[in-house]
Amino acid sequence: MMNKKTVRDIEVRGKRVLLRVDFNVPLEGGTITDDTRIRAALPTIRYLLDREARVIIASHLGRPKGKPEPAFSLRPVAERLSQLLGQAVPLAPDSIGPEVKAMVERLKPGEALMLENLRFHAEEEKNDPSYAKELASLADVFVNDAFGAAHRAHASTEGVAHYLPAVAGFLMERELLFLGKALMQPDRPFVAILGGAKISDKIGVITNLLGKVDKLLIGGGMANTFLKAKGLHVGDSLVEDGSLEDARRVMQEGGAKLRLPVDAVVADAFSANAAARVVKVEAIPEGWRVLDIGPETVEIFRQELRGAKTVFWNGPMGVFEFPRFAEGTIAIARAVAELEATTIVGGGDSVAAVEQAGVADRITHISTGGGASLEFLEGRVLPGVAALADK
């Protein structure tokens, strides 16, 4: 299943290790508002430091325009990492160049430093070979723990792997294990729940999962396009007319595997305080819009989940940001959390929803890969994964 080498498969003692992480954390006025991504990389960093590696940590942060911009400096990240590790992690002035090289030369076994934002060089996103070579020249081995950036062929995710032995860190390993097993050898029944705003964002995932799952439950805004494709009136609901054909094809291919909402919570405006009513999907009033799945749908989805051995969930069932329209999403979160199954939740808003429901710790695997998770589930080869050495 996991056919890529990991840090466990190579000797790191005394070696200079270039470690690519995803420390693209949210910042407000230079302060980190959520350090989850930094904490998530600690197991790999500690493993390397414990084994006396010399660790060179590399990440991108935000979207600087290919040149140094102080607002996107990794300084606050290096400081937070130093606190979390209980060990100083100095920040280099750049990611390549003689000054950085000299700092790396001075690193002792068991010490770490952090390179400045990779995207201060336009060559990073262009996967420029000479920039990749410069980065690689800092180290003896490359460890990639940035699953969330693995769908991009950038110098630090793909390019460097041409010049150094390349293996996965523990976070990368975990994502590949859970997502890979779900796609290749899921314990069955395998049920997927897909929702969120748009069908067009997820059509690749829907199509690929359809061939792998035993049941596909569809809720959220994307369900409206399916309902309209069935000839129902959806009022002022969010609909993608450009995806009606895709919806018809999915319904045809999915047949009995596919479950759509039978009722909905509709609102007279797109607002937290809108008037709300539960209606059958055949009776969505003109001028109203679907903002959540209804209680009957929740019950049907719960039944479909009963006995599942693998569950993948992406996309909220409704506009869960408005408490009045969060009930369907929260009920599904609880139902998933209660299962004796391998449960995987991916997607920024979906993860926020399971956290809001207070059940995140009862989900087997919270995938933090965002776009990378979705591309993986579409069945695409991720360049940052393909570049790693095979076992």
Q: Which residues bind ligand ADP (CB under 6 A)?
A: 195-197, 201, 220-221, 238, 290-291, 314-316, 318-319, 321, 347-350
Q: How far is CA 124 from CA 131, 204, 307, in A?
A: 7, 27, 46
Closer residue to Mg ion (CB): 254 or 328: 328
Closer residue to Mg ion (CB): 132 or 345: 345
Three-class SS of residue 147? helix
CA–CA separation, 5 and 290 (whole Å) = 47
CA–CA separation, 58 and 96 (whole Å) = 11
For 218, the token pair is 């569809």
Least separation, in Å, of the C-beta of 369 and Mg ion?
A: 13
291 binds, among Mg ion, ligand ADP, none (CB under 5 to 8 A by kind): ligand ADP
Does 242 interact with Mg ion (rule: CB under 5 A)? Answer: no
Closer residue to ligand ADP (CB): 2 or 197: 197
The residue from 30, 211, 307, 348 that is catalytic is 348
Least separation, in Å, of the C-beta of 303 and ligand ADP?
A: 21
Least separation, in Å, of the C-beta of 269 and ligand ADP?
A: 12
Does 355 interact with Mg ion (rule: CB under 5 A)? Answer: no
Q: How far is CA 318 from the centre of its chain?
A: 20
Q: Can you spell out the DSSP letters for 368-383?
A: --THHHHHHHTTPPPH
Closer residue to Mg ion (CB): 220 or 384: 220
Least separation, in Å, of the C-beta of 299 and Mg ion?
A: 26
The residue from 46, 198, 302, 309 that is catalytic is 198
| In contact, 308 and 189? CB cutoff 8 Å | yes
The piece of 237-245, 324-332, 343-351, 377-385 that touches Mg ion (CB under 5 A) is 343-351
* 212 counts as catalytic: no
Q: How far apart are the first and last CA of the chain?
A: 11
Q: Could you tell me the sign of the dihedral formed by the alpha carbons of 206, 385, 156, 348, in that order? A: positive
Q: How far is CA 352 from CA 17, 184, 298, 330, 331, in A?
A: 33, 27, 19, 11, 14
Does 97 interact with Mg ion (rule: CB under 5 A)? Answer: no
* 37 counts as catalytic: yes
The residue from 37, 54, 228, 259 that is catalytic is 37
Least separation, in Å, of the C-beta of 344 and Mg ion?
A: 16
Closer residue to ligand ADP (CB): 95 or 225: 225
In this structure, which amino acid lies at residue 314? N
Does 349 interact with Mg ion (rule: CB under 5 A)? Answer: yes
For 300, the token pair is 């049907």
159 binds, among Mg ion, ligand ADP, none (CB under 5 to 8 A by kind): none
Nearest one of 217, 215, 224 to 197, comparing CA atoms? 224
How many of the chain's residues bind Mg ion (CB under 5 A)? 2
Least separation, in Å, of the C-beta of 42 and ligand ADP?
A: 25
| In contact, 160 and 168? CB cutoff 8 Å | no
318 binds, among ligand ADP, Mg ion, none (CB under 5 to 8 A by kind): ligand ADP
Closer residue to ligand ADP (CB): 22 or 116: 22
201 binds, among ligand ADP, Mg ion, none (CB under 5 to 8 A by kind): ligand ADP
Does 348 interact with Mg ion (rule: CB under 5 A)? Answer: yes
Q: What is the 3-state secondary structure (H, E, C) of 155-186?
A: CCCCHHHHCCCEEECHHHHHHHHHHHHHHHCC
CA–CA separation, 222 and 226 (whole Å) = 7
Q: Kindly list the catalytic residues.
A: 37, 198, 348, 371
Query: Which residues lie near Mg ion (CB under 5 A)?
Result: 348-349
